[in-house]
Each structure stands twice: as C-alpha cells, then as structure tokens.
Amino acid sequence: MSHITLVRHGQANSAARDEASYDQLSELGHQQARWLGAHLRDTRAHHPRVYCGTLTRHVETATSMGLTDPIRDPRLNEIEYFTLAQLFEQQHGVAIPTDREGFVDHLPKTFAAWADGALENPPETFEQFETRVSDVLREIGTEGGGAIVVTSGGLISMVVRQAMGLDIPAMARVALAIMNTSMHRLHPIGTQLSPVLFNAIPHLEAPDRHFAQTHL
C-alpha cells in the first residue's frame, strides 16, 4: 500500500476566456514544472506509476517535469469551467469575471448552480463529475507503489471534497486555494484515502522563486 500524489498543472493561459485558449502552458508554467521535476529527482521521490489527464496542459506539465510515458486518462481532466460560466451567464445573467477577485466570488456561485442542477445542458452533470473522479481514484489505488497524477485544480478540489466530506462552498474555497504545480498527497488510512499533504510547493519556496507562486 502506498500513496497517490496529485499535481496541479503549471500556469496556463491566464488571459483566456474559453476552454481551447486556456489549454496550453505559459512559459512560466513550463518553468514551474521543470522546477518541480528537479525537486522530485533531488529528493529521490519514487513514483513507479505515472498518470495524467489528456488535456494539453496536463501532458505539457508531465513532459516538463520529466515524467515519461504517463498513462493518459480523460477521467483526470478538468471540469469545463469556462463552458459552465458561459451557461451561467446565458441562463442566469451572471457575468463572467475578468480578474481574480471576481473569480473568488464567481466560482462558488457557479459550483452551487451546477451542483443544484440549475444549469441546463452542462457538458457533464455535477454527479457525473463526482462519479468519474471517485472511479478513477479507486482504479489508480495504492497497490504497486506510489502514483503521481498530473491533473487540474477543480478535480483536486473534488478529491478533497470526497475525502473530507466537504460541502460545495468549502470545495470551492479549496479550488481557489490550489496553486500551479502544487502537490496534494493521499494515503490509505483504514479503508479510505485521506489527505496527508495539501498545496505543497517546496520547489517554489526559495525567495527568488516567490514570483512563480501562481493560482491562475
């Protein structure tokens, strides 16, 4: 029995306002991933099993980290937040924000409307998202040595929700807190996976790297 380490992708195109435009790393995102990969090698972290989503930013992060031949699983992909936000605006008149402060208020409202079924024709229901996350984590499991999983902040927040029994507002706060290339570790305690590490960025703690501690 071993642990699962979830990694949020590096900084993507923070100026984007749609899914396709967002799905690429910035140069800083590549650098964050290179630093994380170097940290894992320097500390001799052993991850015999490597996974990532199928989104470009997931694959680019894994590549810049130096992870070879990850198993790509679409169940590890992010929610389509921009699509949900567009539906929220079209159906309820809630404008899509243009800065981080706006997203801090917007994201929990969007999550709540989605979870309540108040958004018509979403790309997936909240329940479908919950199910795919629990299914893929169960299949990855903890047999066969440590696993490292490159994914996204929304999915990590769902993992924490499921592990800790969080309500929707708390899940949204977790999602907002997650930094680019941060690590989040789950370890089996009893019959369940429990968080033993959250939002760790040891590769970005040196004073000359503080600028690289990004959320968007």
**Are β-strands 147-151 and 4-8 bridged in parallel, bridged antiparallel, or unpaired?**
parallel
Burial of 203 (0-12, 13-18, 19+ CB in 10 A): buried
Average pLDDT value over all residues in the chain: 94
CATH of the domain at 163: 3.40.50.1240
Considering the entire predicted model, what is its pTM? 0.94
Residue 154 near residue 75 (C-beta atoms within 8 A): no
Q: Output the pLDDT for position 21.
A: 79
Q: Sheet holding 183-189: strands in order across?
A: 71-72, 49-52, 147-151, 4-8, 183-189, 192-200
| Tally of structural domains, the chain | 1
Residue 189: domain span: 4-212
Query: pLDDT tens digits for 127-166?
Result: 999 999 999 999 999 889 999 999 999 999 999 999 999 9
Query: pLDDT tens digits for 9-55?
Result: 999 987 666 777 788 999 999 999 999 999 999 999 989 999 999 99
Query: pLDDT tens digits for 72-128?
Result: 999 999 999 999 999 999 999 999 888 878 889 999 999 999 999 999 999 999 999
